[in-house]
Chain A
Amino acid sequence: MSTTATPPASSAETAPGRGMRFTGWASNYVDERTSASTAVKALGRKIFPDHWSFMLGEVALYSFIVILLSGTFLTFFFDPSMTEVEYSGSYVPLQGIPMSVAYHSALDISFEIRGGLLMRQVHHWAALLFVAAIGLHMLRVFFTGAFRKPREFNWVIGFLLFVMAMALGFTGYSLPDDLLSGNGLRIIDGMIKAVPVAGAWISYLLFGDEFPGTDIIPRLYVLHIMLLPAITIALIGIHMVLLIVNKHTQFAAPGRTNDNVVGAPVLPAFAAKAGGFFFIVFGVIVLIASFFTINPIWNYGPYDPSPVSAGTQPDWYIGFADGALRLIPPNLDFVDPLGYTWAFGVLIPLVGLLVFLAAVALYPFFEAWVTGDRREHHIAERPRNAPVRTAIGAAGITFYAALWAAASSDIIATHFRLSIEGVIHALQFATVVGPFIAFFITKRVCLALQRKDREIALHGFESGRVVRLPGGEYIEVHEQLDDFERWRLVSFDEYQPLMIRPNDQGKITVSQRVRAGLSRWFFEDRIAPVTMNELESQKH
């Protein structure tokens, strides 16, 4: 290794001045009471590798902090009561209209309090960014195999954070008690009622009465500003501790191995960059909030179970659930011989979504079982080098995207002048068949890319320089890679499918067969990395 953990001391050594003396005194004061130097010693020079895709998790973390700050500001002014009052604020179109105190106070935050609208918009934009960043971060972890041992727990915690983000977003969206948020709750109420046996009761207890009742907003408020944030903060804490224990993954590059971490130390470079990046994320959110309106609740009016609201959309991250509801064919209610109603039209999408989410949460354990791989992995794989996993991911994305598009089926139909029926049927097809197509194509593309890598590793790349041979023939000169460039293309593992082996009693169990079958499915098509001998023989 060419570098060491201690860089040469900077030449500009300063004699301890007054400031230094104070810092020394203060550090000593604190350390004698907390042993803080131990933590600084352990963490102060921890190494963080650099790659743009590693910033996604940071964006999520920073936008969460922005959410906490802006949300706390909002709590000082927001009143979640559902008591009915007449609007008396300055927004003329709503004056005299009966509404809940919650809606009134959200309007007041927007119209009577300087900076209130800005904070509402900061909060909402940050929430959208937060969920988006978590989602992309999950995709990064998935496609680079960074969920593999020893990081499976952190995958599950990250998944829970994603669920928390959606729950926080939905409860927050409901708080202003405007027409849209009330409609959202109405849909939740309808879904809960479909739950076999206890649905009507769960809805009744949740709403404290028949829908809508006067309890739901205060209850969601407690969830939104206390319970769910507390759980989220706890999960983020565990996520960070595990990150420190497991250390960061890194992409394969010259000098980087499964046994080291290469990058910048926390103090000073990483801390400055990450701290600065927090301010940038915060700044960009405020910038967006200063110019772009989000959730103009004053346009929607207070909640009322009767008026229309065509073409309205939930926040983007709820879209896939809404879309799932839309894709179901009509008349699926089934009354069993005892007279109880099975609302399959709602239950099928509900169960489908739960299965999808469970599959996401448990994928690392599935892959570990199928591959039989029990080693620690610290090198982030290039997606092409794990074709089946990448293809599974693409299938999952396609499924999610089809559901998500379905949530805008009406807008797609009106915008492109299609019939709503046509759009729904196409999306039904995309939801069911699309994932298979995506799987197939992605796997082929990955294998093709791997072949191309092999090709380049063996024959070099086209230099763009064309020369004329003595015989008059023109060829393009291929330039060989140097060792460092080649390493990126050849440093990956090749796997063989598991073999079926009898167990101690000499039997081959069904689960063994399934496992071997899946393992074959995972690894039967594979491309081996170029070896030295191959390159040697190629040259002659």
Chain B
Amino acid sequence: MAEAHDSAHGGETPGTAVAQQQDHSAPAPAVAVVRSDRFPNPGFPPERLRVTDLDPKKEKQAERTISALFFLSIIGSVFAVAAYILFPIDNLDPSTIRLNNMFLGIGITLGLLGVGIGAVHWSKALMHGHELVEERHPTRGSDESRERAVEIFREANAESGFTRRSLVRNTLIGAVIATPIPAIALFRDLAPAKDPVALLKHTMWDTGVRLARDPSGTPIKASEVTIGSAFHVIPEGLAELEYHRLEEKAKAAVLLMRLPVDELNEDPAKADWSYDGIVAYSKICTHVGCPVALYEQQTHHLLCPCHQSQFDVADHCKVIFGPAARPLPQLPITVDDEGYLVAQSDFTEPVGPSFWERAL
């Protein structure tokens, strides 16, 4: 330790030397360069007195300021209570909320700042102003206590036979490791006994389910979808669900757009998934699941507001920019006898973010 302090400050080693650590386990020593002709610490500079130390009038004045601040604080706190009563919230008038918030806040602020600024001022202007010095000691325990600690462990070991009775010790370690296992098992019922993977692969869409407006739930006729328009779509019946409405919506939300047929570049295998230039794509981003809900009519690009993934509707919704992993899944649609748009089936692949078992 002695060298350590030396090398940092005020060492007396003659000549230019390299301060070394007495540390046998270290492969190489610490190397702070110590020069004998470096500057000594000049010690404390002469103290500068504050105005309040020199001038009793200033001292009195500071005293008055400080108690004025504390007094102001009392006024603030009382004002806050008054504001609580005088500025009630009137349910018919939203501006009363703002007033209540503001005046209550101003009162409390005064109450707090008065105490705070007063106390700091007191400390800085009036309390004993000299700096004091405290010696540091190395953080490690003294040799004596370290020896005693080692001895205690040795005694405890001898008395318990912790190292000697290795069978007892090892079985104890095993037993302690095993005890938390039931706790882990207990958490299985955080979720119901179903396979989440199966759930992730199905949505409410099914053969003949009508496409309905989000959020009203009224079905959409193909004739209502003009070129260039876009609809936010949910399966008919979703809006009326008593149970699992949001969970179903989180998978089944769809965007419906109509493009001029000649601008639509369709995969021959999926040519009959659209109807007269009307296409339906999952609205759940294949990145991490935000709703992809910004449709740019001219470019027919879809934009996800969360991380700016862009999908080209004219080109199978493939990803043209951003972090999304895959094209948005397409919902195969057609029209029923009454002219309403309906799904031909569920999505043919899982919607939304990727997961381990997704492709299986």
Contacts and interface: CB of A to CB of B under 8 A. Distances in A.
A374 interface: yes
Contact of B33 (A3, A45, A150, A494): A494
A306 B232 contact: yes
B8 A258 contact: yes
Given A211-B250, A306-B214, A325-B307, A183 B290 contact: yes
17 contacts: A45-B132, A117-B97, A205-B190, A210-B196, A254-B41, A255-B43, A257-B9, A280-B112, A286-B109, A311-B305, A322-B307, A325-B307, A330-B321, A330-B324, A373-B30, A378-B136, A484-B45
A9 B269 CA distance: 95
Contact of A1 (B35, B44, B101, B308): B44
The 5 closest A-B pairs by CB, nearest first: A290-B105, A190-B288, A276-B119, A279-B116, A283-B112
Interface stretch (B121-129, B146-154, B164-172, B256-264): B121-129
Scoring A10, A196, A260 by chain B CB atoms within 10 A of each residue's CB, the highest score goes to A260
B26 A345 contact: no
B332 interface: no
Interface stretch (A128-136, A230-238, A266-274, A389-397): A266-274
B156 interface: no
Contacts of A410: 305, 308
Contacts of A272: 119-120, 122-123, 127
Contact of A495 (B32, B136, B190): B32
Interface stretch (B50-58, B87-95, B271-279, B337-345): B87-95
Interface in B300-317: 305-309
B60 interface: no
Interface in A236-270: 245-247, 254-265, 268-270
B196 A200 contact: yes
B102 interface: yes
A263 B127 CA distance: 13
A476 to B, nearest CB: 26
Given A1-B43, A47-B132, A290-B105, 7 more contacts: A189-B288, A282-B112, A290-B106, A304-B215, A345-B325, A377-B8, A503-B27
Interface residues of A, number: 152
A514 B269 CA distance: 58
Contacts of B43: 1-2, 254-255
Interface string A110-145: 111111011001000000000000000000000000
Interface in A306-341: 306-312, 322, 325-333, 335, 339-341
A329 B113 CA distance: 50
Given A115-B84, A150-B139, A259-B9, A5 B353 contact: no
A498 B28 contact: yes
A497 to B, nearest CB: 7
Contact of A255 (B41, B117, B355): B41
